[in-house]
């Protein structure tokens, strides 16, 4: 096992990884920008190293500085968390080249799944169902029109190197196609430096379902069930729950088996998440995230499995210490992403927290690195914390969430707490009857 791990991230996920390391008896190194000198993950780590000024490109994305911090402190491994360098295949290679262990998948799998066209072709060959669409990038408007005519409108134009909803446009008719292609290509070029796009059939009312997997170096691949991430704004997840209200046990077992079989053939290593659109009983592959997910705590809540601990054990060469039949899904869990934003316009709200009170009680977890007096910097993601609740059934979980939201106090800035206080009282949410377009329509109805 490792004696010292460097955490190449910040905020709540850096603190989450630090906690797992401490419970395993592993020393930790926090890296930070000058803007994060007083951050909680820096305060609680055994050692800390400043790696640059506030802009992420000069600090949290600065690979030479992160490697230097490892060499200075003697850290044997790097955990990248999520975001920043977590899905950078070249970073994983550089880490390995310096004799340091990268706590994550193999670089070739990070690279493969980072190219959406190659990823779709790969998983299709491995038996994972995909959305009907182009086999690769579309090279001309005429090709795009021919494919769309074959699969039927509406179609979705997607950036091959995309993520976060950027480079995605819907063409509902043939007349929309040219504009959708040009706009998606321009966005993709600006955001990712690559204007390649491909086409998929646009599903009208799907749910966003993702399956969490773990794989060790001995060929064992297990799934930890699914998470429903359908409540989204501009393709950004807002609320996640496990298990999904839309799936039954047979569907869960079926898709879990398909995913584990495919990743066994691929020779995957570590934690990963396969994301699907689910409509009318059918699953369609969207993408694979080769990293820890923001919403991993809801899976931990219903399985009792510490996913970060398993990541570390696997990276150290250990075997997964349980079998698929040992994974029991107990109760329901919901996560709300508490962002430093206006709850309805989503305008960022950085600033100093003047009051803070975390909710507590049975089945309540608040993953956050904020504290009273902490100043949320304007340079990074606006996530202030994640409220996770667990109950023996979905109704108990929802009532517990309502209570916990009323207890949570974050003063001095705007947060999305009021949004969730509305959502947890909406009939469609209470009944589990929502899809990936539901939240956008709800927010539109609230505009003055």
Any idea which residues carry the catalytic annotation? Answer: 291
Burial (Cβ within 10 Å: 0-12, 13-18, ≥19) of residue 164: exposed
Asked whether 166 and 186 are in contact (CB, 8 A), the reply is: no
Residues 6+ apart with CB under 8 A from 346: 233, 339, 416
Which residue in the block uniquely carries the two structure tokens 């000198």? 37
Distance (Å, whole) CA 388 – CA 400: 10
- Chain length of the chain: 448
Q: How far apart are CA 73 and CA 4, in angstroms?
A: 9
Rg (CA), the chain: 21
- Both tokens of 202, joined, read 């646009």
Helices and strands (H and E) in the chain: how many: 15, 20
CA distance 14 to 369: 9
Strands 207-215 and 270-279 come out as antiparallel
User: Which residue is it, tokens 């309805």?
Assistant: 344
């Amino acid at each position: 096992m490792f004696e010292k791990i460097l955490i190449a991230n910040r905020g709540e996920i850096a603190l989450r990884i630090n906690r797992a390391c401490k419970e395993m008896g592993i020393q930790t190194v926090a890296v930070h920008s000058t803007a994060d000198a007083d951050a909680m993950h820096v305060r609680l780590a055994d050692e800390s190293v400043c790696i640059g000024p506030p802009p992420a490109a000069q600090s949290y994305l600065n690979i030479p500085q992160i490697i230097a911090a490892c060499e200075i402190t003697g850290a044997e491994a790097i955990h990248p968390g999520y975001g920043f360098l977590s899905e950078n295949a070249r970073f994983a290679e550089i880490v390995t080249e310096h004799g340091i262990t990268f706590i994550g998948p193999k670089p070739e799998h990070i690279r493969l799944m980072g190219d959406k066209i190659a990823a779709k072709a790969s998983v299709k060959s491995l038996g994972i169902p995909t959305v009907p669409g182009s086999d690769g990038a579309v090279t001309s408007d005429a090709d795009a029109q021919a494919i769309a005519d074959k699969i039927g409108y509406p179609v979705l134009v997607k950036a091959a190197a995309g993520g976060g909803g950027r480079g995605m446009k819907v063409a509902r008719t043939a007349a929309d196609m040219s504009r959708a292609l040009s706009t998606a290509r321009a966005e993709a070029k600006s955001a990712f430096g690559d204007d390649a796009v491909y086409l998929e059939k646009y599903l009208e009312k799907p749910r966003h379902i993702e399956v969490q997997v773990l794989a060790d170096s001995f060929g064992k691949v297990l799934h930890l069930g699914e998470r429903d991430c359908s409540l989204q704004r501009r393709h950004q997840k807002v609320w996640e729950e496990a298990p999904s209200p839309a799936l039954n046990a047979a569907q869960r077992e079926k898709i879990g088996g398909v995913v584990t079989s495919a990743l066994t053939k691929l020779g995957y290593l570590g934690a990963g998440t396969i994301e699907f659109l689910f409509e009318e009983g059918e699953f369609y592959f969207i993408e694979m995230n080769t990293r820890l997910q923001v919403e991993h705590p809801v899976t931990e809540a219903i399985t009792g499995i510490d996913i970060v601990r398993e990541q570390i054990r696997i990276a150290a060469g250990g075997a997964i210490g349980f079998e698929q039949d040992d994974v029991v899904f107990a109760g329901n869990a919901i996560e709300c992403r508490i962002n430093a934003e206006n709850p309805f316009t989503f305008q960022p709200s950085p600033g100093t927290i003047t009051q803070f009170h975390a909710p507590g009680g049975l089945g309540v977890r608040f993953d956050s690195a904020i504290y009273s007096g902490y100043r949320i910097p304007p340079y990074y993601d606006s996530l202030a914390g994640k409220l996770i609740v667990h109950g023996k059934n979905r109704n108990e979980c929802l009532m517990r969430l309502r209570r916990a939201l009323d207890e949570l106090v974050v003063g001095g800035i705007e947060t999305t707490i009021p949004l969730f206080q509305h959502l947890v009282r909406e009939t469609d949410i209470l009944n589990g009857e929502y899809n990936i377009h539901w939240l956008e329509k709800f927010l539109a109805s609230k505009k003055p």
